[in-house]
Amino acid sequence: MEMNQEKLCTSKADVSSDSAYHCSTCHDDEEWSNTSRGRAKSRSLSASPALGSTKEFRRTRSLHGPCPVTTFGPKACMLQNPKTIMHIQDPASQRLTWNKPPKSVLVIKKIRDASLLQPFKELCVYLTEENNMIVYVEKKVLEDPAIANDDNFGPVKKKFCTFREDYDDISNQIDFIICLGGDGTLLYASSLFQGSVPPVMAFHLGSLGFLTPFNFENFQSQVTQVIEGNAALVLRSRLKVKVVKEHREKMTVQNGIEENGVVSANIEKEVGKQIMQYQVLNEVVVDRGPSSYLSNVDVFLDGHLITTVQGDGVIVSTPTGSTAYAAAAGASMIHPNVPAIMITPICPHSLSFRPIVVPAGVELKIMLSPDARNTAWVSFDGRKRQEICHGDSISITTSCYPLPSICFRDPVSDWFESLAECLHWNVRKKQNNFAVEE
């Protein structure tokens, strides 16, 4: 199903005014990503240098990190509020608005979960028949026998637009996203958009999660509010990660597929080097992999060696990821509106190394120590796991493209309520386990 994509038109005055509020270093550094579409004429949420001196300022020296993009997908943007606090908009006043009415929605459903079939069908019927929306669904979702063999759902299914991960680019087609499942569905949605991300509305079904604030019981009214542009937003910062590997063997790439059949997305070639870049919502994890030896990696901050981590590994996380693997490793929980990057060791050999928080926008680099006895492994939000050898490097900084997560009430209340619910849920689960054992 081919759709003619509507394009946002901006006047020359808008473009010139917009450039006054966005750091040129931010955009120059994002050349590998999808070009931002239809930037709204609005003030950036972080401090910007003067027009005459933008080139002199390094992005890594920004107090609050890079200027975040405030347009999300083809049509969504954040309603600007002139009252700001330290050049950062008050989190409670962050609201969603639309440049044009949304027409297309991406529905992400957790695969192989029978409990989500009925909610998925109800949502899709409501979107297509009640709101006349164009629904995008991943092709493998429709391959589920319970959906493929449902004759009553057939007329709705014929209206779907389908795509395949790593093959089809839908970044310019989606106005907003609806996730059905747990926190993993939101992480998956983030991985599909390596540039600007459309607004994401996440329903928790089956288990509680920090990233899924909506309950599905009243989905009709809640979805209608989002379509009408009446919703709160939290901008969840992401990490821009660049992995540079020494080229050790000849590898040919044809049509984005390597010799071993694995799709090679976002790969650039240099003489003797292989460069891969990712957008990460939760964390980058460097660990010792299958080796029995402790990992031994050097961590640099803006080019200066700050520590050598000897242990099971190290986690570099966003505030969103602070409640995931980092929390399990003993780190603090950080509200997603705090501009920061957290560095957490995994079972460090030295008791003097504790989790540390650095300002958003600094540039971290992780490399194997010269005296490391084995290689290390790295993963990005639990995906794209790969080996890191001597001479390879991992560069991490705050991305200009946050994930706009739609809130149930507001960014502050939602986060503390989900924190309380998840902690109490874990306590109740342990109590039930003890009761069963007795």
Q: Is the pLDDT of residue 278 over 90?
A: yes
Sign of CA dihedral 122, 124, 129, 131: positive
What distances in angstroms separate CA 110 from CA 133, 190, 386, one per listed residue?
21, 14, 25
pTM: 0.77
> With pLDDT > 70 as the criterion, what percentage of the chain qualifies?
73
> Among the residues of 107-202, which ranges form H helices?
117-125, 139-142, 145-148, 154-157, 183-192
Q: What is the pLDDT of residues 296-336, one digit of tens each?
A: 999 999 999 999 999 999 999 999 999 999 999 999 999 99
Beta strands in 182-287 (DSSP E): 200-204, 232-236, 239-246, 267-270, 273-280, 283-287
Lowest mean pLDDT among 100-109, 306-315, 368-377, 407-416: 407-416
User: What domains are defined for the chain?
Assistant: 95-229 (3.40.50.10330), 240-248+272-400 (2.60.200.30)
The whole-number average pLDDT for the span 5-20 is: 39
Q: Which residues pair with 346 in a beta bridge?
A: 313
3-state secondary structure 310-368: EECEEEEECCHHHHCHHHHCCCCCCCCCCCEEEEEEECCCCCCCCCEEEECCCCEEEEE
Lowest mean pLDDT among 6-20, 330-344, 381-395: 6-20
pLDDT number for residue 416: 80
Q: Is the pLDDT of residue 59 over 50?
A: no
pLDDT number for residue 414: 80
Higher pLDDT, 52 or 297: 297
pLDDT number for residue 395: 98
Rounded to a whole number of angstroms, the CA Rg of the chain reads 22
Q: What's the longest Cα–Cα distance across the chain? A: 73
What distances in angstroms separate CA 120 from CA 109, 223, 436, one per listed residue?
7, 14, 34
For all residues of the chain together, what is the average pLDDT? 79
Beta strand 239-246 with 393-398: parallel, antiparallel or unpaired? antiparallel
Q: Is the pLDDT of residue 367 over 70?
A: yes
CB within 8 Å of 179: residues ≥ 6 apart: 108, 185, 186, 188, 189, 200, 201, 202, 203, 212
CA 42 to CA 18: how far, in whole Å?
A: 7
Do 381 and 365 meet the contact criterion of CB atoms below 8 Å apart?
A: no
Q: What is the pLDDT of residues 342-365, one digit of tens each?
A: 999 999 988 778 899 999 989 999
The whole-number average pLDDT for the span 210-238 is: 91
Cβ-based neighbour number of residue 349 at 10 Å: 13
CA 57 to CA 59: how far, in whole Å?
A: 6
Tokens standing for residue 19: 């450039």
Catalytic residues: 183
